[in-house]
Amino acid sequence: MKILFVDDDLDTRIIYERLLKQHGYQVLMAASAGHALTVAREEQPDLAIVDYMLQDSSGDILVRQLLTEPRTQHVLVAMHSQRLDVVTAALEAGAIDLISKSDPPDVFLLRVSSMVRFLTLKNKQYELDTVRRTQQQLRRYEQMVAVHPDMMACIGRDGCFLAANPAYLEAFKKTSEALVGVSVESVVGASFFQQSVKPYLARCVNGETLAYQGWQNLSGLGRCFLDVHYSPVIEDNGCVSGVVVIMQNITPYRSGDHHPNRLKRQWLAKQRMEAMGCLAGGLAHEFNNMLQPIVGFSELILKSPVNNSHYKQWASIINLSGQRAASLIGHIMDFSSRGVDEHRLELNLKSLLQEVLTIMQAGVPNGIHLKAELPAEGWIKADASRVRQVIVNLCNNAVEAMNQVEGEVCVTMLERPADSRALDKDGHLMPEGRFISVQVQDSGCGMNERLQSQIFEPFFSTKEPGSATGMGLSVVQGVVYGHGGFVRVQSQVDQGSLFEVSFPLIETPIEALGSAIGSVSMLDKQRGSYQGRILLVDDESVVRMSCKAMLESAGYRVVSCASASDALDWMNLAKQSVQLAFLDYNLAGMTGMELALELKKIQADIPLVMISGYQADFLQEELNDVGILECLAKPLGGDLLTQVARKYALALIEQSE
């Protein structure tokens, strides 16, 4: 036990040094506080006995310095003084005891012996804790090695196995008892050992760390391409006692490339895809702004009282092309993860079918007739653009199946009662409830059973490369299933095909609501000269013109603004309430979200609807926080605009009355 004795009196130091050494203690002496700190740092004593009254410092200050110094804070310190009134100062400084200088030598030695026993027990406990922590750490290492998929083994200098993890044992079909103590040569074979193992073991035993890749036949895995690493086991004395071998099976990555290069190529491909996604999102936004007037004005022409059939036919083709382009842009935006969520409203399926078939007939080849049998009236809650594209895709596929031969494509709508339990294309029972179904039947080439089992797979097509159009039946199925519906297929070779898509029928009497409220223009006539006023804010002039024209054709008065500042100036100067505001998200100078907050300050009850060419980085909760009711995707059709306007503007008018 090493004891540091600190006292500035020489005679006192000599007496106590002799006393402690006589009882077997190793003694270090210091005459001042500064000297004591130096000795304690260098010699690392176990116990320090410090005089309270030192020439260069007081004992309690030295105690604090010893216990706060990182290299000496482990030292057990006792105060040594003639004065017993300093016991409080000693204990507050951190001393374990106050030893009186008036105590006889035997009492002094008893006190020292007591502190030494305490230190001994403390050291033993520390050693036990250290052993326990080491054992826990070793168990963790063992568990890590045991569950690691790489093959690991430890080999002694004599070439025999010392240990192996389960992956190594499994690769060679050995148990631990059958492997440990056995030579490597007897396990891997003499020829392979001499050529591919022994040279590496010999170099590794000399302290080298080695690695190589090569083929090896493993009894448990077969022929494998391995990434092998040899590392020396170096003991505390610097000697190499063995070798650790780690083998990784990289056969799956062998095809033309090694594992690291393959991961690098995957990472680069991911970066390229992210860049393409950003580019696609930006292009989609610009295209949607350009499509808005094409879709909007062609729709207005179709609904106008002009009786020129050529104009109506040309407008139909323009509108259908715009719809298809909008659908394509939607898929680009989905690809770039910037698509706007589906906008589902109450939808008259019969009216939508009549609209789609009227438009499509203009583009159908001569000799093929689209026949509609739509006796039923059915309302569904759906995204009109998605349902429209499902019907367009099915009709296009039916027309193409005719192969330019004269014939008929029949589109039928019918209601399935609640007790009708038809089977879908996979043989599953149709869900319970009332459904409205659309059947598209052709008299074309038909399909065999093998082809029917593949047509709903992603990217599958029966068309020549480069000629495929539409969404693909896998996406058709996804849209229908996403609306809670189901799909059926019936087909025979040379006898045509029948595709049926079904949607849940909603019970809400939408027809009655429609007849009660009429159009907004009829409502205006009933209420005198008052008309609903709508604020439209978009920095694209063609978007403003088309949306304004569609809303005005429905009887609304529209105030269109090219910027957020124009909108705020009009609201502040006009001093007139607005029944609804359509705001573009991507405005210059101020975003649609920021404009919404400013408009709420002027008119707290104003209903706000966001319009966007792509999905901005905001969540539904953020929309609600600023009072935005919905987000609509461009290009906007007249039906969608007027339905949203009726939904919110009419409600505000009725509240004000």
Query: In the chain, where are the structural domains located?
Result: 2-124, 148-255, 518-656
In whole angstroms, how far apart are CA 395 and each of 10, 281, 424?
113, 29, 20
Indicate the CATH number for domain 2-124. 3.40.50.2300
Chain Cα centroid distance, residue 519: 45
Element (H, E) at 161: strand 161-164
The model carries a pTM of 0.40
Q: Which of 578, 539, 572 minimizes the C-alpha distance to 559?
A: 578
pLDDT digits (tens, 9 = 90+) for 121-145: 888 888 888 888 888 888 888 888 8
Q: Do the domains 2-124 and 148-255 sit in the same CATH topology, yes or no?
A: no
pLDDT band of 512, cuts 50, 70, 90: very low
To the nearest 10°, report the CA torsion of 264, 265, 266, 271. 90
CA–CA distance, 85 with 270 (Å, rounded to integer): 77
Identity of the highest mean pLDDT range in 9-23, 290-304, 332-346: 9-23
User: Whose structure tokens read 């027809």?
Assistant: 511
Q: Which of 609, 614, 605 minimizes the C-alpha distance to 629?
A: 609
User: Whose structure tokens read 């004599």?
Assistant: 158
**Right CATH number for 148-255 from 3.30.450.20, 3.60.20.10, 3.90.76.10, 1.10.10.350?**
3.30.450.20
Q: How many CA atoms lie within 13 A of 338 on its CB side?
A: 23
By mean pLDDT, which of 67-71, 173-177, 628-632 is the weakest? Answer: 628-632
Indicate the CATH number for domain 518-656. 3.40.50.2300
pLDDT band of 361, cuts 50, 70, 90: confident
pLDDT at 592 exceeding the cut of 50:
yes
